[in-house]
Amino acid sequence: MFGPAKARLFLGLTVASVSLHGAIVFSLVAASAPGGLTQDPGNAPSLGLAEAPGLRTMRARCIACHDADIIREQRLSKPAWGREVDKMIGWGAEVSATEKDEIIDYLSGQFKAIPLAFIAPEDDQAAVGLLSRCLVCHDLRLIEAQRLTGAGWTREIDKMIAWGASLTESERDVLSKYLVIRFGPAK
């Protein structure tokens, strides 16, 4: 791939001297280089994703916008993966019906929801129910790794609410307290 650093060397430009003219020349040179300005994500290296039917389609359609890490962090049921793919299509992803099925099958096969077997009988069942909402999008291992304080969990939950999670203020408080007890700072 003919990247920006090579283009600057080729054109004899420095970062400070790139003008509108230089940017246009760079764009033309980079676009005419092998691979152009972009690389087909379907032909990209594995990115740590398991080889299985649907991988090539998923890489070509999903990795174009998303880093593989964000995909690997998700642990969803097949219907939840379907809703995620539908959401992306609604936001402009160009995916045929056949590709959609391939992507959902791949994602639901490789990144399944983790059952709530870690719950102890003495755990606050209301909080556990709220935590299950988190697990629709997030891998439990990601939640466990956070080890946040009460204020940290509240900020994190507020961020998720701003992004569309449905929680009342009282549910947020119950969940935040539970997360501190189960996944608070290491002692």
Whether residue 48 is found in the same domain as residue 98: yes
- Which residue segment(s) compose the domain that 27 sits in? 1-38
Is the pLDDT higher at 85 or at 9?
Answer: 85
Mean pLDDT for the stretch of residues 45-54: 76
Q: Is 167 part of any domain? A: yes
Whether residue 48 is found in the same domain as residue 106: yes
Q: Is 116 part of any domain? A: no
* Separation between Cα atoms, residue 77 and residue 82, nearest integer Å: 9
Q: Is 82 part of any domain? A: yes
Q: Is 118 part of any domain? A: no
Whether residue 29 is found in the same domain as residue 79: no
Q: What is the CA radius of gyration of the chain?
A: 22
pLDDT score of 155: 93
Mean pLDDT for the stretch of residues 35-39: 40
Q: Is 98 part of any domain? A: yes
Whether residue 88 is found in the same domain as residue 105: yes
Q: Is 45 part of any domain? A: yes
Q: How many domains does the chain have?
A: 3
Whether residue 87 is found in the same domain as residue 48: yes
Q: Is 5 part of any domain? A: yes
Share of the chain above pLDDT 90, in %: 25
For the question of whether the overall pTM of this predicted structure is more than 0.95, the answer is: no
Q: Is 139 part of any domain? A: yes
Whether residue 67 is found in the same domain as residue 23: no
Confidence of residue 118 (pLDDT cuts 50, 70, 90): low
Best-predicted range by mean pLDDT (50-59, 96-105, 157-166): 96-105
* Separation between Cα atoms, residue 187 and residue 142, nearest integer Å: 19
Mean pLDDT for the stretch of residues 146-171: 90
* Separation between Cα atoms, residue 82 and residue 100, nearest integer Å: 8
118 residue type, one letter:
F
Whether residue 18 is found in the same domain as residue 54: no
Mean pLDDT for the stretch of residues 154-183: 89
DSSP SS3 for 170: helix
